[in-house]
Structure formats: C-alpha cells, structure tokens
Copies of this chain bind each other. A is one copy, B any other.
C-alpha cells in the first residue's frame, strides 16, 4: 500500500492524518563520495531506507507516511569538490523550519527526520527543538546508516574512522544500486594519524571542525575496498527494522509523563 503522503489530495491527507500519525522526511545529500560512489549516495540511501521503514511500520499498524526527501542539504565539508550541491546552515535550517510549520497545519503532530548524511545531524538537532518550541510539533531524528545507530560494525581496517564513502556506505549502495558503484576505483583512505590523539577525534570527548579535504583529497574517509553487497543488505535491513520499531515507539511517544503514572515526582 502506498505511503507517500503527497500522493494523497489535500482533503484525503487531512482525513488520513491523526495525532498518532508520523510523517517521515528523508534528508540526504548530494556530495562527493569518492571516485567509486555516486554523488547521490546519502540521498538514495535515506530515501530507500525511509521508504522501507515506513512501509514496514505501516504493515505493523503504525500510521506512518513518507514525504519527498531533501536531496540538497548541508554538505559544507565537501564544498571544495565539484558536483557537491549544498545549502548553507541558514538556508537548510529555514527550509526545515518552514516544512515543519507546514506539517504543523495538518492533524499530524509528529515529524521524523530520517537522515542519511552525518553533516546534517547537528543542524537537525537544532531544528528539532526549534519546531517543538515554535509550533508544538513533536520532532524526532533517526540516522540512516551510521554504525552507532544501526549497530553495524565499521570496516575492519577503518579503526572506527570509516565515516564517509567507506565500508558501510559502499556496501549499502552495492546492495541498493550496484550499477552506480565502481569498485575498481575504490581506494582506502583512513586518517590513521587521528588515532594518536586520546581526547580529540570522532566520538572522543573533544570534537573538532573539519572539512573532508583536511584528511585527503580523494573525498573518502574510510576503507571501501572491503565492501560487499551482502554486508550492505544485512546492514540496510537491520537499519530498516530498527527504524520501523522506532516508528512504533514514536507513534505513542510523549515527552510529558502519563497523567496517572506512579513513581514520577516533579515539583
């Protein structure tokens, strides 16, 4: 059963949406992913994952709906690479605020960002709160294929540094759109020197501002050479299953305590 909200008419959408409905916006990116992956990697993964998760959740009784995804987002870390098409933080933030404001005019009260691009995470977190405060919308952010979210392992030669165009992303695209991957051009590019730092680095107590050509000019941070379609399938399906389960929680989620709840103390 189709779950594309915008394939309904305005009047049908109003009828279909309820306060426990969830509307899912995929957020991708169009950006350099190395010579072996398409510019649309993050966008296609976000859209495919979100679509599959919405459909699976709907089969399980969640009133979940899909929106057309945002292809162009905040890829400022790849600004230097031709083919990257990106929005500034102001423009992406305004875009999301205005989309949220529009959704808040419908009966739906829950908007989920299904994000496929790491460079959007922080801004989407800012946006989630802004939409909550200004329009009363419940907002949620789910990461498309980040290992930490999906429970997947990073590639074995990546030492936890496979964040862009590496083992995981390449595997997933090999699964979803193999004709768009050219493994003959896949080259390992892991900034191993970052391992020398104990406190500064990805996932460490101190984060740092970077652009992707800080590490290497090829636009890859990771090791795509170990990627396989099999692993991509496994990773993708685990993500989709987790997301569908999350949608079921979101449909009943409320930040406020339930009225009669025992054991909750508040001033």
Contacts and interface: CB of A to CB of B under 8 A. Distances in A.
B130 A89 contact: yes
A166 interface: no
Given A13-B82, A103-B85, A208 B141 contact: yes
Nearest to A210: B255
Contact of A106 (B43, B82, B127, B265): B82
A263 B205 contact: no
A66 B113 CA distance: 26
A264 B199 contact: no
Interface stretch (A54-62, A185-193, A227-235): A185-193
A207 B141 CA distance: 5
Given A132-B210, A139-B209, A209-B131, A193 B261 contact: yes
A255 B191 contact: yes
A5 interface: yes
Contacts of A193: 257-258, 261, 264
**Which bucket holds chain A's interface residue count?**
35 or more
Interface string A15-55: 00000000000000011111111111001000000000000
Contact of A77 (B34, B74, B133, B190): B133
A67 interface: yes
A246 to B, nearest CB: 4
21 contacts: A6-B40, A6-B43, A9-B35, A10-B32, A10-B33, A10-B34, A10-B84, A14-B83, A68-B72, A82-B107, A89-B126, A90-B94, A119-B129, A122-B123, A125-B209, A132-B211, A140-B209, A141-B208, A189-B267, A199-B242, A215-B256
Given A87-B95, A206-B246, 19 more contacts: A6-B43, A6-B85, A9-B33, A10-B219, A13-B82, A68-B71, A87-B98, A91-B98, A132-B209, A132-B211, A140-B208, A149-B205, A191-B257, A192-B261, A192-B263, A199-B246, A214-B255, A214-B256, A220-B267
